[in-house]
Amino acid sequence: MIFNSFEFLLFLVAAFLIYWKLGQKGQNIFLVIASYVFYGWWDWRFLFLIFASTAVNFLAGHFISEAEGAIRRRISLVLNIVINLGILGFFKYYDFFVTTLQQALTSIGIASSSLTTLGIILPVGISFYTFQAMSYAIDVYRKNIPATKNFIDFMGFVSFFPQLVAGPIERASNLLSQFREKRVFSYPKAIDGCQQMLWGFFKKIVVADNLSGVVNNIYESAASASGWQLTLATFFFAFQVYCDFSGYSDIAIGTARLFGFSLMRNFYFPYFSKNIVQFWQRWHISLSTWFRDYLFIPLSRMSRNPLSLGSYARNILITFTVSGLWHGANWTFVFWGFLHGLYFIPYAALRNKLRLRRAEDAQPGLKDLHQILFNFLLVMFGWVFFRSENIAQAFYIIKKIFVDLQNIPSFGELYPKRLLLVGVFILAEWLQRNKAHPLQLENVAGWAKWLIYYIIIVLILAVGDFHYNPFIYFQF
Amino acid sequence: MQLLDRNIKSFIFKALLFFSPLFALAGVLLWLGVRSGELWPIQKVIDYELAHPRTTLFLKAYIPEDHRLKYYGTLRRDPDILVIGSSRAMTFREEMFAGADFYNAGRLIRSYDDLEDFVKFILPYIHPEIIYFGIDWYWLGALNQYEREAQAIVFTNDPVYDWRAELFFLKRFVMAAIKDPSLVSRIIRKQPDPISNKKAIGLIAFEGDGIRFDGSLQNGTIQEKRKVNPDYFDPIQPPILEQVRRGISHFKFNNEIDPERAAVLKKFLEEAQRRKIEVIGFSAPYSKEVYSELRTSPMQQKFFTESVQEIKKIFREAEFPYFDFHDLAVLGLDNNYMLNGSHMSETATAIALKIMTPDADPKTYLDKKINQRSTTPLEIFW
């Protein structure tokens, strides 16, 4: 069941009404049932896998906390990680690695007919819930949180439907603890949740879906497109992927609020970042912090001299490359991740001199425009790899962008309506960049707020593309 | 279970209040959609047609279902004389067959994929004596890609039950009503189609174009324009001649015969032979310029010629007649007998049918009708 569907609206209304008539225990059980219905709507066979993943991680938490001695605890953790990554690796990467191996063997003249791909269906959201469940076991091992004895609560934590298939990737310390607590309906939070959902739908249906057609057309005919067209398509893609993914996060966060849950912020106006460090403090925050806490920091601890530039750069590159691989079974994603790692290294070298401030403390202003634009261009360059079918196509497009600049497009060829849409969107986010989302309109009269909401709803209905358009990040 | 607390009730009340104008507006628009026929499911359209024969004109603007109409219409009518083919076969009218049990299923077949589905999903369940089959030569083209519409129909519900289709209708209808405010009052008053005064089902039918009870197409709009300006012109955008010259749409350059598609035609004719159904094949004419371009253009000529030859060969081997009317001169006509570059008029159809029909009496009947003073290049005024 996707968010931008009538079925989801009916499901949400029914779930909301039933949920608030139940006591806390009943609410948790109901959320598990509702989440399994939500997830099973895609394909009921996926339910076995998510249940198995839930059971494995629940038991892992139990064994880790009950194990006597550090070695047994470590063995339990390692086993848990191997099983989780094994499941993820099989469903997501088996065919990719077999194909890569086939190509490598063929290139050196070795027959590879015995290696065959399996055509495995990728379960929706497997990357998200696997990481989410794994983080629980790791946190139990680190004694950051106690192991839970309540399997229902844990099922709810893993399968919570607002964030199940595309994040935010929650930590047990935040989300699981909320399952243990009594939830009280908060009228202001529910209203804020609805506002954030509305903004999320606007981003996804109006902005992202309307840009995707242009991007697909130009990228699929890259050979006949000019450098300007490819540049424009990449620019549009930057906003397509941002609006698609952050729109989903907004809907997830807003929906969770209707049920009394607070999810972590996942996007913090990332294109207003002044440098790449800030960008990764603002983009897909739940994933970047996951990799920081569970890969980068352990790698640093294992390094002999973690503060040296060499160790830092190596650990950054490993972390970002693996993060790229997480996004998809294609070398383009790996390269994209590696590229962002490379972007980090100068900042690592100069970090003492730059005195970089955290994203929350460093609200950008117009005086930072040159830094914002430069950083955006770096990120946009990386999106070419993210969007391309393969590495060869990515480099072909990049070459064209820099070389094929003769045919300057006319105004009509610049898709002016879509440019206007992106411009209005950027303006709205810029003006409200100090807020959690642009529809937090505290100083606006009630009737004006309703008018703005109606305009957005009409835009969603009138301009929105309601053909089947699953969220980009669902492929992960 | 507990009662909902005051905050929740207040939230629900506010949400209902907020959405009520939108729900009310959507309700009114959906009511207009039903009243106009745009949101009628096809089975309801067919039920109404059969209950009120020869009183309706059907064509929707925003949820195109003419294929679905012809699919179920053919199955439910099960006529003695059936016309199949693309829209280029839709000017055969029941009056031309002098009271015979007739149905025009033109628009049902737009490719050999559709023909294959016709053989699989429809032919086993109908019992026609004669099938007039309008064949478009480019269907054999290996470069031409087509959607299998019958399969979409068989395995899906009527799109009027799909909220996405209804939302699409609502959006387009609002735009249409803004452009032409009289549309709403015409729907409310259930104004009949302005050409034949029949009950209009669907917004295109409200303008005078649509599918009649016999399945043929009433081309009201173009006929009214040609009454004002009788000279031939091609209103299709881009015109068919341009499509042929540019090699777009059906007319792709360097096309070649797909043997699998030719095999589908053979299989259909074999099945018709087995069932003792008479099949009369024909290819409808083009305007003179389009035909000339197809015959002389170095980019089109080879495939056009080979394709027509292949069709003739297949029919000859199956011992069924095939009539090549691509050239208007074969019918003794000029462009004034064409509705556009690729669709012949009702009069041209009657003339073609007179040539095709095997029996003497129908020939005499058609001759008499064509020669009546009320005949124009476009219409016979049945």
Residue in chain B lying closest to A192 (CA): B11
Interface contact B15-A194, CB threshold 8 A: yes
Interface contact B11-A462, CB threshold 8 A: no
Residue A48 contacts B where some CB pair is shorter than 8 Å: no
Residue A185 contacts B where some CB pair is shorter than 8 Å: yes
Interface test with B, best of A17, A20, A29 (most B CBs within 10 A): A20
Give the model's pLDDT for residue A470. 44
**Mean pLDDT along residues A317-328:** 93
- For B185-232, what is the HEC assignment? HHHHCCCCCCCCCCEEECCCHHHCEEECCCCCEEEHHHHHHHHHCCCC
A residues 432-451 closer than 8 Å to B (CB): 450
Q: Quick check: A251 and A201 in contact, CB under 8 A?
A: yes
Residue in chain A lying closest to B162 (CA): A6
- Write out chain A residues lying below 8 Å of B4, CB-based: 17, 20-21
User: What is the per-residue pLDDT across A280-307, written as a single tens digit (0 to 9) for each?
Assistant: 999 999 999 999 999 999 999 888 877 7
Computed over every residue of chain A, the mean pLDDT equals 89
Interface contact B1-A185, CB threshold 8 A: no
Query: What is the rounded CA–CA span in Å between residue A312 and residue A394?
Result: 28
Residue A24 contacts B where some CB pair is shorter than 8 Å: no
Q: Which of A327, A340, A370, A437 is catalytic?
A: A327
A residues 221-240 closer than 8 Å to B (CB): none
- Write out chain B residues lying below 8 Å of A457, CB-based: 22
Candidates B1, B10, B22; nearest CB to A21: B1
Residue B25 contacts A where some CB pair is shorter than 8 Å: no
pLDDT at A14 over 60: yes
Computed over every residue of chain B, the mean pLDDT equals 91
Residue in chain B lying closest to A466 (CA): B164
Buried b (16+ CB within 10 A) or exposed e, A62-98: bbbbebeeeeebeebbeebbebbeebbeebbbebbee
Q: Which of B294, B292, B283, B296 is nearest to B344 (CA)?
A: B283
Give the model's pLDDT for residue A355. 58
Query: What is the rounded CA–CA span in Å between residue B302 and residue B253?
Result: 10
Give the model's pLDDT for residue A468. 47
Candidates A22, A187, A462; nearest CB to B10: A187
In chain B, % of residues over pLDDT 90: 68
User: What is the per-residue pLDDT across A439-475, written as a single tens digit (0 to 9) for each?
Assistant: 999 888 989 999 999 999 998 988 877 764 445 555 5
For residue A204, the 8-state DSSP code is I
Residue B15 contacts A where some CB pair is shorter than 8 Å: yes
Q: Quick check: A185 and A360 in contact, CB under 8 A?
A: no
Candidates A26, A187, A466; nearest CB to B7: A187
Give the model's pLDDT for residue A354. 60
Interface contact B163-A187, CB threshold 8 A: no
Q: Quick check: A169 and A290 in contact, CB under 8 A?
A: yes
Residue in chain B lying closest to A22 (CA): B1
Query: What is the rounded CA–CA span in Å between residue A217 and residue B206?
Result: 36
Single-letter residue type at A321: T
Query: What is the rounded CA–CA span in Å between residue A72 and residue A141?
Result: 11
Determine if the peptide bond prior to B238 is cis (ω within 30°).
Answer: yes
Candidates B1, B22, B170; nearest CB to A457: B22
Residue A22 contacts B where some CB pair is shorter than 8 Å: yes
Residue A109 contacts B where some CB pair is shorter than 8 Å: no
User: What is the per-residue pLDDT across A38-71, written as a single tens digit (0 to 9) for each?
Assistant: 999 988 888 999 999 999 999 999 999 998 888 9
Q: Quick check: B105 and B132 in contact, CB under 8 A?
A: no
Alpha-carbon dihedral A396, A398, A400, A406, rounded to 10 degrees: 180
Q: Which of B248, B232, B229 is nearest to B240 (CA)?
A: B248
Query: What is the rounded CA–CA span in Å between residue B150 and residue B71?
Result: 7
Predicted ipTM of the assembly = 0.82
Give the model's pLDDT for residue A112. 66
Interface contact A450-B18, CB threshold 8 A: yes
Interface contact A20-B3, CB threshold 8 A: no
Pick the more confident residue, A470 or A210: A210
Place of tokens 């018709």: B272
DSSP 3-state of A285: helix
- Write out chain A residues lying below 8 Å of B172, CB-based: none
Min Cα separation A213/chain B (Å):
18
Residue B13 contacts A where some CB pair is shorter than 8 Å: no
pLDDT at B327 over 90: yes
Give the model's pLDDT for residue B3. 62
Please give the distance of CA B130 from its chain centroid, rounded to a whole number.
20
Interface contact B5-A22, CB threshold 8 A: no
- Write out chain A residues lying below 8 Å of B10, CB-based: 187
pLDDT band per the 50, 70, 90 thresholds, residue A361: low
Min Cα separation A452/chain B (Å):
12
Interface contact A461-B8, CB threshold 8 A: no
Residue B24 contacts A where some CB pair is shorter than 8 Å: no
B residues 151-170 closer than 8 Å to A (CB): 163-164, 167-168, 170
Candidates A187, A454, A462; nearest CB to B11: A187
Give the model's pLDDT for residue A166. 83
- What end-to-end distance do the CA atoms of chain B give, in Å? 71
How many residue contacts between A and B have a Cβ separation below 8 Å? 40
Residue A90 contacts B where some CB pair is shorter than 8 Å: no
Please give the distance of CA B74 from its chain centroid, rounded to a whole number.
13
Query: What is the rounded CA–CA span in Å between residue B305 and residue B294?
Result: 9
Residue in chain A lying closest to B12 (CA): A17
Give the model's pLDDT for residue B258. 94
- Write out chain A residues lying below 8 Å of B5, CB-based: 20, 185
Give the model's pLDDT for residue A67. 86
- For chain B, what is the HEC assignment? CCCCCHHHHHHHHHHHHHHHHHHHHHHHHHHHHHHHCCCCCHHHHHHHHHHCCCCEEECCCCCCCHHHHHHHHHHHHCCCEEEEECHHHCCCCHHHHCCCCEEEEECCCCCHHHHHHHHHHCHHHCCCCEEEEECCHHHHECCCCCCCHHHHHHCCCCHHHCHHHHHHHHHHHHHHHHHCCHHHHHHHCCCCCCCCCCEEECCCHHHCEEECCCCCEEEHHHHHHHHHCCCCCCCCCCCHHHHHHHCCCCCCCCCCECHHHHHHHHHHHHHHHHCCCEEEEEECCCCHHHHHHHHHCCCCHHHHHHHHHHHHHHHHHHCCCEEECCCHHHHCCCHHHECCCCCECHHHHHHHHHHHCCCHHHHHHHHHHHHCCCCCCCCCCC
Q: Quick check: A209 and A436 in contact, CB under 8 A?
A: no
Give the model's pLDDT for residue B1. 55
- Write out chain B residues lying below 8 Å of A26, CB-based: 1
In chain A, % of residues over pLDDT 70: 94
Give the model's pLDDT for residue B316. 97
Q: Annotated catalytic, A327?
A: yes
User: What is the per-residue pLDDT across A422-436, written as a single tens digit (0 to 9) for each?
Assistant: 999 999 999 998 888
